[in-house]
């Protein structure tokens, strides 16, 4: 086993630990780990990422069900347009992206470069959402209301984003649940995990129909990530997740800028 491969499996563990510690954000590392350490091409990496992210989020969602933190009605309203879009994106849009998109002088933008550049931009946006200080709003039980047209539009946007880059999109889903469905923050975070699990795993079905999956590798990588979640949950007793989230945001920002320069220069 090569050093990069060992680092890749360590990356799988780190993805889970971050998810367990701060409740999100770790999945944004999945694609870079699979591309740069496991030497997968970006299209395959985004597909595998959907399975890893979906499985990890499902573990988190199952933990929240006994605590009654998941608003199932909101999850259904949001998830349906999201999973339909992510499935169609993986089944039809991603396979239709030409291998060479356009050429500027002697530099050719391939589909692999385009996916990684787009992913780097998403990483930078996600990083700013983690770095930005958020004032804790007072916990109050408000009646859940639904702005159906906006929820459907948001679901479609998140589904398209997830389908292209293979990330969970929690940094988009959680604010949408708070603003559009008036969910308290804790419920929004827990409900977003269920939405991410459903749309990611259904989106992955679109890939199963169009590409060959290395199941032994994918299951081992996912299992290590899930072990990492439990380790992260345990470490949560000793580490302040909020402080860590900001530091992790800076790390993601640096990674995003690195990927952008690496792919374009």
pLDDT along the chain (265 residues), means of 10: 90 88 77 94 92 90 88 90 92 89 84 91 89 60 70 88 82 83 84 89 90 95 93 82 82 93 88
Contact yes or no for 58/28 (Cβ under 8 A): no
**Tokens 């398209």 belong to which residue?**
160
Tell me, what's the pLDDT at 151? 83
Please report the sign of the dihedral spanned by the C-alpha atoms of residue 201, residue 206, residue 207, residue 213. positive
Tell me, what's the pLDDT at 13? 93
CA-wise closest residue to 189 among 17, 104, 11, 69: 69
End-to-end CA gap in the chain: 30
Tokens of 31: 């694609």
Tell me, what's the pLDDT at 134? 63
The string of DSSP codes covering 194-208 is HHHHHHHHHHHHHHH
Tell me, what's the pLDDT at 140? 52
Tell me, what's the pLDDT at 35? 94
CA distance 235 to 14: 12
Tell me, what's the pLDDT at 116? 92
Contact yes or no for 163/85 (Cβ under 8 A): yes
């Amino acid at each position: 086993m090569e050093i990069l491969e060992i680092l890749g499996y360590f990356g799988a563990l780190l993805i889970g630990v971050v998810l367990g510690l701060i409740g999100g954000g770790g999945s944004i590392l999945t694609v870079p780990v699979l591309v740069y350490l496991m030497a997968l091409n970006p299209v395959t990496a985004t597909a595998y990422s959907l399975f890893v992210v979906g499985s990890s989020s499902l573990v988190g969602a199952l933990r929240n069900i006994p605590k009654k933190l998941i608003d199932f009605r909101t999850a259904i309203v949001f998830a349906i347009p999201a999973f339909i879009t992510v499935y169609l994106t993986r089944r039809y849009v991603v396979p239709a992206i030409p291998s060479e998109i356009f050429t500027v002088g002697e530099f050719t933008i391939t589909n692999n470069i385009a996916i990684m550049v787009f992913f780097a931009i998403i990483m930078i946006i996600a990083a700013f959402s983690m770095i930005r200080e958020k004032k804790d709003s007072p916990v109050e039980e408000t009646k859940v209301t639904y702005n159906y047209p906006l929820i459907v539009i948001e679901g479609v946007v998140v589904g398209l984003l997830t389908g292209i880059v293979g990330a969970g999109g929690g940094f988009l889903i959680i604010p949408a649940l708070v603003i559009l469905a008036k969910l308290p923050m804790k419920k929004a975070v827990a409900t977003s995990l269920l939405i991410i699990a459903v749309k990611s795993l259904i989106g992955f079905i679109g890939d199963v129909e169009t590409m060959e999956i290395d199941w032994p590798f994918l299951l081992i990588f996912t299992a290590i990530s899930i072990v990492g979640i439990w380790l992260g949950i345990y470490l949560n007793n000793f580490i302040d997740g909020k402080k860590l989230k900001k530091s992790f945001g800076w790390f993601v920002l640096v990674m995003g800028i690195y990927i952008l320069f690496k792919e374009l220069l």
